[in-house]
Homo-oligomer: A and B are copies of this chain.
Amino acid sequence: MGRRSDHTRSELEALFVEEGRRQLAEVGLARFSARDVAKRVGYSIGTVSNVFGSYDGLVLAINARTIALWAAHLRDCLAAAGDDRIAALVRGYFDFAVAQPRAWIALYEHHMADDGPAPDWYQAQVAKLMGIVATEIAAALPAASAETVVSLARSLVATVHGHCVFHLYRTFDLLGETAPVEAALARVREAIAAAGG
């Protein structure tokens, strides 16, 4: 089974992350098995430890890849957007989550085994994502201070996130159907208007 020189270390990482993401998207975090990923990639369990350190390491690597793809998707949406860049951003947020709900949910449901914070390289990825949003908020509020922009960006991401989670978790279904994207967008617009946009 060993295929020592077939792949370099980084090729191996990519191999595991790709197959891992496939399985995570298919089966969800609760039923995700590092053993199974290794098996389907043609390596043994032990290799996961060697390459990623632990189960957490593998999931982290997968989630980082998901975030990178998400960021790329948002940038694409913005590049293709017309005047209404805020709408493009909100829709991009939802699009991505809806397209691969289980992988997206895993971003939030995975926690370090020791309850510690995620490593810096991972947090940097998240910060990059936040940066994309902050840039757009800043553009929408030319008169606002950097402080205000960052603070509002966080709050608006939280707002959109809440609507997105409830949509995916089907929490909204309890009281009849409404378009969650439109509701999120309405809340965001109100907040920007109130801030002087």
Residues of A within 8 A of B (CB): 28, 30, 108-109, 111, 115, 117, 123, 126-127, 130, 134, 150-151, 153-155, 157-163, 165-166, 169-172, 174-176, 178, 180, 183-184, 186-187, 190-191, 193-194
A-B contact pairs, 17 of them (CB 8 A): A108-B169, A126-B171, A130-B175, A134-B175, A155-B178, A158-B163, A158-B166, A158-B172, A158-B184, A160-B162, A161-B162, A161-B166, A162-B165, A165-B165, A187-B187, A187-B190, A193-B194
Contact among B123, B161, B186 with A155 in the assembled complex (CB-CB below 8 Å): B186
Q: Are B154 and A172 in contact (CB under 8 A)?
A: yes
**For residue A30, which residues in chain B have a CB less than 8 angstroms away from its CB?**
111
* Complex Cα gap A171–B171 (Å): 22
**For residue A134, which residues in chain B have a CB less than 8 angstroms away from its CB?**
175
Contact among B117, B158, B172 with A162 in the assembled complex (CB-CB below 8 Å): B158
Q: Are B154 and A159 in contact (CB under 8 A)?
A: no
Q: Are B151 and A159 in contact (CB under 8 A)?
A: no
* Complex Cα gap A180–B151 (Å): 10
Q: Are B165 and A155 in contact (CB under 8 A)?
A: no
**For residue A108, which residues in chain B have a CB less than 8 angstroms away from its CB?**
165, 169
**For residue A127, which residues in chain B have a CB less than 8 angstroms away from its CB?**
174-175
Contact among B130, B159, B169 with A159 in the assembled complex (CB-CB below 8 Å): B159
Q: Are A150 and B126 in contact (CB under 8 A)?
A: no
